[in-house]
Amino acid sequence: MSGHPGRIMGERILVGRIGAAHGVRGEVKVKPFTEDPATLARLGPLETGDGRKLAIAGIRPQGDGFVARITGVADRNAAEALRNLDLFVDRAALPAIEAEDEFYYADLVGLAAVTVDGTALGRVVAIQDFGAGDLVEIEPPGGGTTRFLPFTRAIVPVVDIAGGRIVVAPPEESEARPEDEDEGEDPGATDEGPAP
């Protein structure tokens, strides 16, 4: 099971976000949401949230992130004007996936989430990555607070895009229990205080 990141926004897929300017020649830091960061340069013109078209002329690793050159951006001021812009691509521009157990994360949004025994958990609203690995976000039937589960083969053993569902094996959850009155006390304690 292998997913290709990207977040769906209608028929547009969020594939990256521009960060701060880098240097004085118009380069920008960029956070790719693609499996291979170089894909941003191969996708052709990308669209910003406000409809502007931008082309990534090149992308390279820099420290623990990536730096990109954007066609027509030649100085730091122009680069700073692009800060925090999301970069989208039309869904149709993404290459077809040929492997049976691969998919785009965006294709999971809207799928039903059911347990191994068929109990409905809700529907997938997003795949998130807050830094510690991918999480599948599931909204319960009828709405309410969403639930996050690790997006691993152990927790999500089946992704059935054609069948419109994912199968989830939620981990056992622990609940805090109120302690008995006698529990938690120091067994050697006396009325004068704790045992020495």
Instruction: Note the pLDDT tens digit of each residue in 68-120.
Output: 999 999 999 999 999 999 999 988 888 788 777 788 888 899 999 999 999 99
Higher pLDDT among residues 177 and 33, named by residue? 33
Helices (H) and strands (E) counted in the chain, each on its own, are 2, 16
**Arithmetic mean of pLDDT, 172-193:** 52
Instruction: Kindly compute the dihedral angle of the four CA atoms of residues 156, 158, 161, 162, in this order, to the nearest 10 degrees.
Output: -160
Predicted pLDDT of residue 130: 80
- Asked if the model's pLDDT at residue 186 lies above 90, the reply is no
- Asked if the model's pLDDT at residue 196 lies above 60, the reply is no
- Asked if the model's pLDDT at residue 188 lies above 80, the reply is no
Predicted pLDDT of residue 128: 85
> What is d(CA 68, CA 22) in angstroms, rounded to the nearest whole number?
9
CATH fold of the domain at 2-92: Elongation Factor Tu (Ef-tu); domain 3 (2.40.30)
Predicted pLDDT of residue 47: 94
Residue ranges per structural domain of the chain:
2-92, 109-168
**Arithmetic mean of pLDDT, 56-62:** 93
Instruction: Note the pLDDT tens digit of each residue in 5-54.
Output: 554 445 788 889 999 999 999 999 999 888 888 888 888 899 998 899 99
Give the class (CATH, top level) of 109-168: mainly beta
Which tokens belong to 45?
């013109």
C-beta of residue 107 within 8 angstroms of C-beta of residue 19: no
- Asked if the model's pLDDT at residue 194 lies above 70, the reply is no
E-assigned strands of the chain?
Answer: 2-4, 7-9, 12-22, 27-32, 46-48, 53-54, 56-62, 65-70, 86-90, 102-104, 112-115, 120-129, 134-139, 147-150, 158-160, 165-168
Instruction: Note the pLDDT tens digit of each residue in 118-175.
Output: 999 999 999 887 878 889 999 999 999 999 999 999 999 999 998 999 999 988 774 4
Predicted pLDDT of residue 19: 95
Predicted pLDDT of residue 192: 56
Predicted pLDDT of residue 94: 81
- Confidence band for 195, pLDDT divided at 50, 70 and 90: low
Predicted pLDDT of residue 68: 95
